[in-house]
Amino acid sequence: MSNPQTSSSSAPERGFSDEEFAGRTERCQTAMAEAGISALMVCTEPEVRYFTGFHTPFWQSPTRPWFTVIPASGKPIAIIPGIGGALMRSTWIDDVRTWSSPQPEDDGVTLLVDCLRELTAEGGRVGVPMGPETHLRMPLNDVDKVRAAVGDFVDATDIIVNLRMVKSEAEIAKHRHICRLVSNAFDELPNLLSVGMTERQAFAAFRGEILRQGADDVPYLVGATGPGGIDDIIRQPSDRPIDAGDLLIFDTGSTYDGYFSDFDRNFAFSHAEQDAFDAYRAVWEATEAGLEAAKPGATTTEIFTAMNEVLKANGSLGNDVGRMGHGLGMQVTEWPSHTASDDTVIQENMVLTLEPGLLWAPGKAMVHEENIVVRAHGAELLSRRAAPEMVVI
């Protein structure tokens, strides 16, 4: 495996070329043709952004639905609230259909149905992602109205998953950049944190440092401290002061140009028991096994097993996470999952996390996470590899 520090440290360009969007759309259309789908409808932020480049935090507002439809050939069609018209017209998309929203009695439904009918008039079905890790960001009443008008949807989850799981070099460059910035911020942590600070102050210092390094945003930041160990890794900070002998975990999903990093680090304050050092070493070694296993042609299940064998040999009591890593992209977690039964075949240019978790004593969890891109020869680190021994602050 190779190391990211050798790459240039300048920030990659924002956005993508029109060719990138055209390639995504054409690959989608090839898969649609095989599945008998002549109109594929998406309506979540990453899916709309993937095909159009439309990028705004306006999705924070749940009020208005946004639709993009991929026809059998030609560019995607955007069917969106008027407030987004100017921004969508600045993308590579030509056909932008807007309505004045919010309009509860018909919030884009007629425009969407008209478009879907038009595209399926000569045959072919309407495809929609309906499977694992998807949802429709529109009222269920409106889903029902659209189905009543255009017929049952074909499940297009696999088409979207297969497209998004494999990243382009331009996407990988964004991942590499945000992983470098967050690695820098983690490296600064021993200078920022000290016994006596509250968890909340520690969170604020870390968030501030990630932004100072140049990240656009820190949408995901969880962590906890605890005497000698940590029982819950998805918590928000409390006003608990950090004490000597505490362990700390920070896990962050930060973004650059809409692409995520997602890795964590564990630290001790002042001192730690040997069993905590041993648990740290076990998840670090498990990650080594994952790095070895992550090659094109292997499966997510083989990656899981490689890591799990190391954890079992180190006395794992199991864990509640349900997997040992996942895909990474425009969302902090994406398909696939490293589980005992996922069995997704690893392909070149997948961006993945390796995340072995060890319950080393009741109520004491140690979770370790790195980010990689899979190359022909195997794993290439995007995050800067954690120290093999737990750092004591």
Within residues 156-175, the interface with its own copies by CB under 8 A covers 157
- In the list 211, 361, 391, 393, the residue contacting its own copies (rule: CB under 8 A) is 211
- Number of Cα atoms under 13 Å in the Cβ half of residue 137: 20
Alpha carbons 15 and 94: distance in angstroms, whole number: 17
Residues 14-33 that bind its own copies (CB under 8 A): 14
- In the list 7, 20, 85, 111, the residue contacting its own copies (rule: CB under 8 A) is 85
Residue 234 interacts with its own copies (CB under 8 A)? yes
Nearest to 334 by CA among 75, 169, 161: 161
Strand order in the sheet with 77-81: 95-99, 77-81, 67-71, 37-42, 125-128, 154-155
- Which residue type sits at 274? Q
Which is nearer to its own copies, 4 or 65 (by Cβ)? 65
Residue 221 interacts with its own copies (CB under 8 A)? yes
Quote the least distance from Cβ 169 to its own copies, whole Å: 22
Residues 42-61 that bind its own copies (CB under 8 A): 55-58, 60-61
Residues 358-387 that bind its own copies (CB under 8 A): none
Measured N-to-C along each axis, helices 169-192 and 199-213 cross at an angle, to the nearest 10 degrees, of 140
Which is nearer to its own copies, 100 or 274 (by Cβ)? 100
Cβ(332)–Cβ(140) below 8 Å? no
Quote the least distance from Cβ 81 to its own copies, whole Å: 6
- In the list 100, 121, 122, 362, the residue contacting its own copies (rule: CB under 8 A) is 100
Retrieve residue 225's tokens: 């401290």
Retrieve residue 291's tokens: 């790095």
- DSSP code for 97: E
- In the list 18, 22, 33, 104, the residue contacting its own copies (rule: CB under 8 A) is 104
Quote the least distance from Cβ 63 to its own copies, whole Å: 5
Cβ(127)–Cβ(40) below 8 Å? yes
Total residues interacting with its own copies, rule: CB under 8 A:
71
> Three-class SS of residue 269?
coil
Phi-psi region of 214 (alpha: psi -120 to 50; beta: other; left: phi over 0): left
Quote the least distance from Cβ 333 to its own copies, whole Å: 4
Residue 72 interacts with its own copies (CB under 8 A)? no
> Distance of alpha carbon 141 from its chain centroid, rounded?
29
Residues 250-269 that bind its own copies (CB under 8 A): 253
Which is nearer to its own copies, 18 or 232 (by Cβ)? 232
Residue 390 interacts with its own copies (CB under 8 A)? no
Quote the least distance from Cβ 106 to its own copies, whole Å: 11
Residue 75 sits at the vertex; the CA angle it makes with 74 and 76, to the nearest 5 degrees, is: 125
Quote the least distance from Cβ 44 to its own copies, whole Å: 8
Q: Write the CB contacts of 77 (distance below 8 Å, at least 6 apart in sequence).
A: 68, 69, 70, 71, 93, 95, 96, 97, 115
Which is nearer to its own copies, 87 or 170 (by Cβ)? 87
Which is nearer to its own copies, 36 or 219 (by Cβ)? 219
Residues 290-349 that bind its own copies (CB under 8 A): 320-323, 326, 331-334, 337, 339
Quote the least distance from Cβ 222 to its own copies, whole Å: 6
- DSSP code for 337: E
Nearest to 356 by CA among 370, 345, 341: 370
* Partners of residue 223 on adjacent β-strands: 250
Quote the least distance from Cβ 32 to its own copies, whole Å: 18
- In the list 167, 207, 265, 384, the residue contacting its own copies (rule: CB under 8 A) is 207
